[in-house]
Amino acid sequence: MNIIAGRKPVIEALNAGTPVEKIYILNGAHGEPLDTIRRLARQKNILCTDADKHLIEKLSRDTNTQGVVAVIGTKEYADVDEILAIAASKNEKPFLLLFDEIEDPHNLGALIRTAVCLGANGGIIPKHNAAPVNATVAKTSAGASALFPIAKVTNIVAAIEELKKKGVWIVGSDARAEKRFTEVDYTLPIALVIGNEGKGIRRLVKEYCDFLVKIPMAGSFDSLNASVAGALVMYEVFRKRTFL
C-alpha cells in the first residue's frame, strides 16, 4: 500500500492529480488545511473518512502525519518512446533524465519534483538497484511523481543506445570531468544522467555519455548530494532553453 502522509503533501497530491484512492483523517482533527482536503476529495469523488490514532499510525510509518494519510494508486510506468512523443507533441527538443541506480527514494522524489518544475519530459530508471516510485517518492516530490512519466528499463546502457539513435545527446555529471556543466549546448535533445548517491555514474554508463561535465566546488567536499547536483544541471538546461 502506497501512502502519502501530512496535510501539505496530501493537498499537493490532490492538486497535482495523484491517483488517490482514499483519505483518512484523525478523529476530532480540525483546521483549514483539513477543510481543504475534504473539499478537494469531494470534488474528485475520493472517499474521505475519519479514523482513530491507531489506524493512522498503522497506515503510515511517518511520525509526522499531522492527522491525515492518503492511500494512493500504483505508479504506471511509461516506455521511452512515449516520453519522446510527449516532447514531440509540445514541439520541444527532448529533455530526459536517466537515474543511474539512485537508491534513496528521498533523492528520487526531490529530483522528480525539480524535473517537473523545470520542464523535463520524463525519466528512465533501471529495474534493479534503484529506488521504486513509492509513497516516499510521492511525498518527497509533493505529488509530482504522478505527473512525471517514468520508463523502467532492464539496461540503462541499452536505453542510452536507443536514445542516441533517435538523436538525443547524453550528458553525465562527473567530478573529474574537464568540461564545466555550463559549457554544453542544452538546446539540443538532451538526456541527463544522474548517478548513484555514493558511487556516482557507473563506469560503463560514463563511456556512453557524449559529454561528461563537472560542477566546480569551492569547499572541502568534492561532490554534492545527487538531488542538488541534478537540480543545478537541470536548471542550466532550463536557463539555456528559456533565456537564450
Query: All 3 cell numbers of residue 239?
Result: 536557463
CA dihedral 193, 149, 229, 98 (to 10 degrees): -10
Q: Which residues contact 61 (CB under 8 A, 6 or more apart)?
A: none
Residue 71: what are its φ and ψ, rounded to 5°? -90, 125
Amino acid 174: pLDDT: 87
User: Sign of the CA dihedral 62, 78, 212, 196?
Assistant: positive
What's the mean pLDDT in 26-34? 94
> How far is 45 from 27, CA to CA, in rounded Å?
21
Q: Is the pLDDT of residue 102 over 80?
A: yes
Q: How far is CA 164 from the centre of its chain?
A: 23
Amino acid 74: pLDDT: 65
Q: Contact at 8 Å (CB) between 95 and 237?
A: yes
Grade residue 71 by pLDDT with cuts at 50, 70 and 90: confident
Residue of 39 and 72 predicted with greater confidence: 39
Amino acid 220: pLDDT: 66
Q: Is the pLDDT of residue 90 over 70?
A: yes
Q: Contact at 8 Å (CB) between 114 and 238?
A: no
pLDDT digits (tens, 9 = 90+) for 150-177: 999 999 999 999 999 999 999 998 888 9
Amino acid 110: pLDDT: 95
Amino acid 60: pLDDT: 83
> How far is 92 from 26, CA to CA, in rounded Å?
45
Which range has the worst mean pLDDT, 106-110, 187-191, 192-196, 197-201? Answer: 197-201
**3-class DSSP state of 177:** coil
User: What number of other Cβ atoms are within 10 A of residue 86's Cβ?
Assistant: 15
Using CA atoms, how far residue 221 sits from 65, 178, 208, 217, 218, in Å, is 35, 18, 27, 8, 8
Query: All 3 cell numbers of residue 67?
Result: 492527522
DSSP letter at 92 equals: -
Q: Is the pLDDT of residue 221 over 90?
A: no
Tell me the pTM: 0.74
What's the mean per-residue pLDDT of the chain?
91
Amino acid 1: pLDDT: 63
